[in-house]
Structures are given as C-alpha cells and as structure tokens.
Amino acid sequence: DQQVKQNSPSLSVQEGRISILNCDYTNSMFDYFLWYKKYPAEGPTFLISISSIKDKNEDGRFTVFLNKSAKHLSLHIVPSQPGDSAVYFCAASARYGSGNTGKLIFGQGTTLQVKP
C-alpha cells in the first residue's frame, strides 16, 4: 500500500518555464512533508519542506503548496534551469502518540528534464 504517490514518472519542461511536480498521500496522520532532489551517484538533497499547519512555503525559486483536504502537495520551480534536471522525491512523516518517529515515507520519484 503506497502511502505517498507521485503519479508522473517523468516531466519535461523548457528552460525558464515553470516546473510543477505533484504528490498525493493517503495517510491523514502525516503532518510534515519534504521534497528532495537526487542526482545520479549522489544522495538525496533536501530542498524544501512544509508543516501541515501551513498551505505554502517558499524558498527562492522553489515553492511547495499543501492542500490537506485533497491530500495533495506540489512543488513549483520558477524559473526552471537545466541544472534542475534530476529525480525529485516527495516524502512525508507522521507523529504517532506523543512524539515523532523519524520515519520518512518516500514517493516513487519524478524525473525532471529541463531543456535549454
């Protein structure tokens, strides 16, 4: 049972345009969401996160939107650059009982290609 889903395996965008990566989740206990970028032969790099008490978080060219009622989040990259070409994973974590477990559940990833 996949609790975090990225339904688009790949996305191709022209340089300078907006990239929108989507992620859906099923577990209503998730309260913290993260986006990671991964280049080949490197570990995932943390990009941006959002707590469930917010609906938007922005950091430079990266903005994450959270729609709790739809259990959906998205990552917007504006403007897209060729160096953004990578695999993007969304991830979620939940508080159980009185504390955090530390467990991150990852989506399957979306490969973004930004064409010059």
> CA triplet 93, 98, 100: central angle to 5 degrees?
25
Segment interacting with another protein (CB under 8 A) among 14-22, 60-68, 71-79, 106-114: 106-114
**62 near another protein, rule: CB under 8 A:** no
Closest CA to 25 of 86, 110, 105: 105
- The residue from 19, 21, 25, 36 that contacts another protein (CB under 8 A) is 36
Is residue 100 near another protein by the rule CB under 8 A?
yes
Token pair of 78, please?
Answer: 């504006």
**Measured CA distances, 25 to 16, 63, 72, 98 (Å):** 29, 18, 6, 22
Of 10-18, 57-65, 72-80, 98-106, which part binds another protein (CB under 8 A)?
98-106
Could you say which residues in the range 67-86 bind another protein, by CB under 8 A? none
Distance, in Å, from the CA atom of 14 to the CA atom of 67, rounded to the nearest integer, reads: 27
108 binds another protein (CB under 8 A): yes
x/- map, 38-57, another protein, by CB under 8 A: ---xxxxxx--x-xxx----
Our finding on whether 19 is near another protein (CB under 8 A) is no
Residue 30 is which amino acid? F
Tokens of 21: 């990566």
